[in-house]
A and B are shown apart, each in its own frame.
Chain A
Amino acid sequence: MPFCSTDLGLTFDPQIGERLIDLFAAFMLVCSLLFLATERRRLHVRLYAFQSLSLAIVAFSVAFFQCERHIFIAAILTLILKVIIIPIVMERILHRLIPQQTVKPAINIPASLLIAGGLVLAADLLTQSILATGHQFALAQNVLTISIAVMLLALLTMVTRKKALTQVIGFLSMENGLFLAGITITAGMPMIVELGVFFDVLVAFFIMGVFLYRISETFDTINLERLTKLKH
């Protein structure tokens, strides 16, 4: 890759890079929260695109300011795959699915949001205990908390929502959190691992997409509560 900060011979206040990463990591957490705060599927897709965009920006920042060149590839892949392709495909699926009435979440929205607040705190505690072991991380510790929190909130989304599509989004968002942790803690996993993960996500996504179709066509809905009927 041709450029990063030192290639261009620029020196930046190290704080700028850190704050940029902090800010966009925080945007990712905002998106995770909003997944829980809304039930509109189209909004979910857009939020996912925005979360991925934030992730891509974090990745670019890490690559640029810390001169971890291989992360550029991950960033570009994120941009193409998660910001453009997956949301577009998902919009299409939405378009094809049968419109349906809203399904009440298992836990109501205010309660799940309050639980989310507690989970962020738990993520904080987890980070503190990891830090207490004396590990040094490439980047500010709060990105670690945010990535753990993004994963936990995604899991919460999957637990509390009954729509298949939301679950897919939860899964993808969890992967975003994992990826955030990956690039910020270790300044990038080995290239091959990252590519492997990408491939996994892509395959998982398409399999889920196919499943969505099947569920929708079989039950006229993607409300997962109906799946309990399968055992009869």
Chain B
Amino acid sequence: MNWTELITGLVMILIQLALFLLLAPLVTAWVRKVKAIMQNRQGPRMMQPYSDLWKLLRKEVIQPATASWIFTITPYVVFVTTLSVALIVPIFTTILPLGFIGDVIALVYILATARFFTALAGLDAGSPFGGLGSSREMSLASIIEPAMMLAIFTAAVTAGSTNLGTIAAQADVGLLLTPAHLFAFLGLFIVAMAETGRIPVDNPATHLELTMIHEAMILEYSGKYLALMEWASSMKLLLFLTLLANVFLPWGISNDLSLVSLGVGAVGYGLKIFALATVMAVIECSTAKLRLFRVPDLLAASFVLSLIALILFYLLGGESHAVL
């Protein structure tokens, strides 16, 4: 490999990582802002999440007396695994120099790793809230994952690859979605709402024991640890928006390294992300939170949407695009 290639690759990796890391709090802020506007409030300013993170990062950690080293390593595990998806998910370009280390199936399991350790940390402090959060999170995850896998299946089969860069590059770049993609998109959208703890499923803004899921698990975290956990959940939100944007609506994503296409890719990415975030915020404002045991209804809908996506795909005479 020659040097220019190596350096370009390294720069691309660093840009994607930095973008993913730094854009995440902004998207969270945008969702909050849209919600605030819809609720006739002014809402916090857009830079507020950054200030929050900065403040938390400078505060000391308070650790529960009963907690073990699981509690200590979890923030690192969650932060690092969530950040690592920026290496395999196309953000504004489909060129991923390290894309070979994992595909979309690996992505599901990387997210599962973060969830696994968060749930353990929830149990570690010995508080009833932590256990409640862990229990709910793991139970919901078990019904989220089939729907997610089916949606991903559709995307992978239509593109003939499970590599996210290839999926984004080969996805049907018409202006209109095919029915199969529409269904898979809707299925994954519901999954995204559930995975990122948005309103019909969970409420990121509440600390009410009746309703909280994710917040209950991280209730004992403070200071720097809390900063890492919060940042990771922002990144997870951004990740799902990115998946929705780039797998199903890959308009404008850059397939080469020319500056023009990279610029178009970056601008298009920004527009898509903020549009999707707006949609998400609007849905959050216009629906009521579901009771915990009604959530399976929603996820069953997501599962069936994805299943129909596959059926419709075959219907169109689609065959597996895999080159055997």
Contacts and interface: CB of A to CB of B under 8 A. Distances in A.
A and B touch in the complex (CB under 8 A): yes
User: Which DSSP category, helix, strand, loop or mixed, fits chain A's interface?
Assistant: helix
A185 B199 CA distance: 41
B296 A110 contact: yes
B146 to A, nearest CB: 11
Contacts of B311: 117, 120-121, 124
A104 interface: no
Interface residues of A, number: 30
B175 to A, nearest CB: 9
A114 B297 CA distance: 11
A19 B314 CA distance: 16
Contact of B300 (A20, A23, A110, A124): A110
B177 A116 contact: no
Contacts of A23: 176-179, 182
B301 A117 contact: no
Contacts of A15: 174
Given A23-B177, A37-B298, A117-B308, A142 B182 contact: no
A224 interface: no
Interface in B138-185: 174, 176-179, 182-183
Nearest to A23: B176
Contact of B179 (A34, A121, A142): A142
Given A26-B182, A30-B183, A19 B176 contact: yes
B177 A33 contact: no
Given A23-B179, A142-B179, A142-B316, A113 B308 contact: no
B142 to A, nearest CB: 14
B315 A124 contact: yes
Contacts of B177: 23
Contacts of B308: 29, 33, 117, 120
Contacts, number: 75
B304 interface: yes
A144 to B, nearest CB: 9
Contacts of A146: 179, 312
B303 interface: yes
Nearest to B305: A33
Given A33-B305, A124-B311, A141-B315, A110 B179 contact: no
Contact of A113 (B178, B179, B182, B303): B303
Nearest to A25: B179
B176 A142 contact: no
Contacts of A33: 301, 304-305, 308
Contacts of B303: 113-114, 117
Given A113-B304, A142-B316, A19 B297 contact: no
A23 B304 CA distance: 18
Given A109-B300, A110-B296, A113-B300, A30 B315 contact: no
Contacts of B297: 37, 108-110, 113
B21 interface: no
Contacts of B298: 37
A116 B298 CA distance: 14
Given A20-B176, A110-B300, A145-B315, A27 B182 contact: yes
Given A37-B298, A114-B300, 13 more contacts: A19-B176, A23-B178, A26-B179, A29-B308, A37-B301, A113-B303, A117-B304, A117-B307, A117-B308, A120-B308, A120-B312, A140-B316, A142-B312
10 smallest A-B Cβ distances: which pairs?
A26-B179, A110-B300, A109-B297, A37-B301, A113-B300, A117-B304, A113-B304, A19-B176, A117-B307, A142-B315
Interface of B: 174, 176-179, 182-183, 186, 296-298, 300-301, 303-305, 307-308, 311-312, 314-316
8 contacts: A16-B176, A29-B179, A30-B182, A33-B301, A34-B301, A113-B300, A117-B307, A124-B315
